[in-house]
Amino acid sequence: MCSSFNLSGVFPHAVYAIREAATSNLKKLVEKFGKDWAHATIIPKVLAMSNDPNYLHRMTTLFCINVLSEVCGQEITTKHMLPTVLRMAGDAVANVRFNVAKSLQKIGPILDNGTLQNEVKPVLEKLTQDPDVDVKYFAQEALTVLALV
């Protein structure tokens, strides 16, 4: 009987809620075990998901980076996570690309001004020319919020 239970009818955003809970728990783990532990164990696994054929897994990479950047700080974010986010701006799926813009907006305050100007701004400017209207919107919003306009 339980095997036929359809969670989507009861809670249509179950996948999102699970992803949110997982990223929250990930943050707590890093707070407990530290940045070095995250750099050695968690971050490589998160970054590897950026190449997954399933776009939802690629988006999960971005959600994890948003949370991890808060607890890992500028150096780890800039050296290890930002390159993956920037590369994902070329993803074939528009939902991934607009989440790249949202991630850049989220992690932007952690980055130094040189990185924002030289690495983040050109990618966001390119995304403002995207054929997808949502990608354009979130890229422009990120440029504005980060004062890169």
Q: Is the pLDDT of residue 4 over 70?
A: no
Whole-angstrom distance, CA of residue 89 vs CA of residue 129:
12
- The vertex-113 CA angle with 110 and 116, nearest 5°, equals 75
Q: Is the pLDDT of residue 7 over 50?
A: no
Q: What is the pLDDT of residues 88-109, one digit of tens each?
A: 999 999 999 999 999 999 999 9
Range scoring the smallest mean pLDDT among 3-7, 78-82, 117-121, 134-138: 3-7
**Closest among 101, 13, 88, 90 to 57, alpha carbons compared:** 88
Report the pLDDT value the prediction gives residue 2, as an integer from 0 to 100: 41
CA distances from 139 to 71, 108, 135, 149 (A): 24, 12, 6, 11
| Domains, the chain, ordered by start | 12-146 (1.25.10.10)
Q: Is the pLDDT of residue 3 over 50?
A: no
Q: What percent of the chain has pLDDT over 70?
A: 89
Report the pLDDT value the prediction gives residue 22, as an integer from 0 to 100: 76
Whole-angstrom distance, CA of residue 116 vs CA of residue 120:
5
Q: What is the pLDDT of residues 21-74, one digit of tens each?
A: 777 778 888 889 999 999 999 999 999 999 999 999 999 999 999 999 999 999
Confidence category of residue 8, pLDDT binned at 50, 70, 90? very low
